[in-house]
Amino acid sequence: MSEDQVTETAASSSKGRPAKKEAKANFFARIALFVRQIIGELKKVVAPTRKELINYTLVVLVFVAIMMVIVSLLDIGFGTAVGWVFGGTGPTDH
């Protein structure tokens, strides 16, 4: 495979280590860059509409209810099994 067929990322990563940056920016410059990057990412966030928010909430509530039923059934089942094994409520008790 020739280098022009490889993606640019793969081609650039196969050329060895990148050259070291000149000097690290000072502490406050790095903090300012970090804050600018945070603001840039927050501008990309899209708030859900009211309909979407209600839909997402209902999905979460239904999922939690289903999981509660599953966990409750498992708890009752394991509790009964443990009571049967260790409690002596089996068919050999008279």
Residue 29 pLDDT: 93
Q: CA angle 21-37-39, nearest 5°? A: 165
The answer on pLDDT for 16 being more than 80 is no
Express each pLDDT in 24-40 by its tens digit.
779 999 999 999 999 99
Give the contacts of 84 (CB within 8 A, at least 6 positions apart): 90
Least confident of 54-58, 67-71, 87-91: 87-91
Residue 57 pLDDT: 98
